[in-house]
């Protein structure tokens, strides 16, 4: 039996080599699923032919990289980058922002599955917890939806301000207290997580947190209003969905205002804005961005040394 030797906290451990685990890792590096298991099998056979019974993780990664370079040098580079991320002491934290109905929840699920991240959280859940801790009298906008928060504003909006956006900003700023706590806890505990929701807005999240290693912020968009509106029809026709279509359509103009605001501040803050038309393309763009940033970080480290 081939064993893989690793190290955690200064202590070495050994576990059986798994073609299934390696093939999943290859798939996350964008190796064709039909080829991944075959490559994993080839690698196992090649190692065992040399009479090796125990191989270190670093040697295994090197072996896989060399095999992938035969297949495609780009795939080999992606594999090494993803292994660096997975082996990093810093957790992988991905923040997905976007207006209601854009599809952040669907993308977060697919992305977490692609990356093997077990933890996902919606900012709506954070808001619900905060509602149990703060009274409606103290923070009225918290008890409204992001696109109806204006209805709970205590102070009338000045004529030069957009009331919808004023309420939205107040709503986001309040929920951001809880969101910051979750991010800080994830970093402290080393927990990789995908967090999505309308309350993830560039400019409201502490820059110090965003500048931490392996923390990435993206904003999803839909430039076509009809496609955006169609998402609500698709979402609300599901039997398990308890979200009223009429309410979304009634406030669609306000939702589009929040959409344009989020996209605008994202571009102002140089945050990647991704058109979420096709799920697969959106996931590819996110993955490509992370890989590019990690390669840039690695290059900078090499230049410093």
One-character DSSP codes across 29-48? TT--HHHHHHHHHHHHHHHH
pLDDT tens profile 141-159: 999 999 999 998 877 767 7
Q: What is the mean pLDDT of residues 275-304?
A: 85
| Predicted model pTM | 0.84
pLDDT reported for residue 243: 62
182 Cβ contact list (under 8 Å, min separation 6): 121, 126, 193, 195
Q: Mean of the per-residue pLDDT values for the chain?
A: 89
For the CA atoms of 144, 147, 150, 153, what is the dihedral angle to 10 degrees? 40
225 Cβ contact list (under 8 Å, min separation 6): 256
Of the chain, the percentage scoring pLDDT greater than 70 comes to 96
Residue 192, pLDDT > 70, answer yes
Q: Is 216 helix (H, G, I), strand (E, B) or coil?
A: strand
How far is the CA of 221 from the CAs of 99, 181, 215, 271, in angstroms? 8, 26, 20, 12
Residues in the chain: 305
Residue 259, pLDDT > 90, answer yes
Q: What is the mean pLDDT of residues 245-249?
A: 85
Q: For the chain, state the CA radius of gyration.
A: 23
pLDDT reported for residue 172: 96
């Amino acid at each position: 039996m081939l064993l893989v030797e690793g190290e955690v906290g200064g202590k070495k451990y050994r576990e059986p080599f798994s073609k299934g685990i390696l093939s999943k890792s290859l798939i996350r590096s964008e190796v064709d699923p039909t080829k991944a298991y075959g490559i994993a099998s080839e690698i196992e056979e090649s190692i065992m032919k040399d009479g090796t019974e125990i191989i270190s993780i670093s040697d295994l990664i090197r072996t896989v990289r060399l095999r992938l370079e035969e297949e495609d040098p780009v795939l080999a580079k992606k594999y090494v980058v993803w292994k660096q991320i997975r082996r990093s002491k810093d957790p992988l934290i991905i923040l997905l922002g976007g207006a209601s109905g854009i599809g952040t929840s669907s993308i977060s699920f697919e992305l977490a599955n692609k990356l093997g991240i077990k933890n996902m959280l919606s900012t709506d859940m954070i808001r619900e917890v905060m509602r149990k801790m703060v009274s409606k009298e103290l923070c009225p906008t918290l008890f409204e939806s992001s696109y109806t928060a204006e209805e709970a504003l205590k102070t009338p909006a000045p004529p030069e301000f957009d009331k919808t956006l004023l309420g939205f900003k107040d709503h986001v700023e309040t929920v951001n207290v809880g969101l910051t706590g979750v991010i800080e806890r994830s970093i402290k505990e080393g927990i990789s997580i995908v967090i999505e929701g309308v309350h993830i807005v560039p400019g409201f999240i502490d820059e110090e947190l965003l500048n931490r290693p392996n923390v990435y912020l993206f904003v999803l968009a839909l430039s076509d209003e009809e496609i955006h509106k169609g998402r609500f029809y698709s979402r609300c026709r599901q039997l398990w969905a308890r979200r009223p279509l009429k309410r979304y359509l009634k406030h669609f103009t306000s939702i589009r205002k929040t959409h344009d605001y989020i996209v605008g501040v994202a571009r102002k803050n140089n945050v990647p804005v991704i058109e979420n038309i096709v799920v697969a393309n959106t996931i590819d763009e996110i993955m490509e961005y992370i890989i590019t940033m990690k390669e840039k970080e690695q290059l900078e480290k090499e230049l410093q040394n």
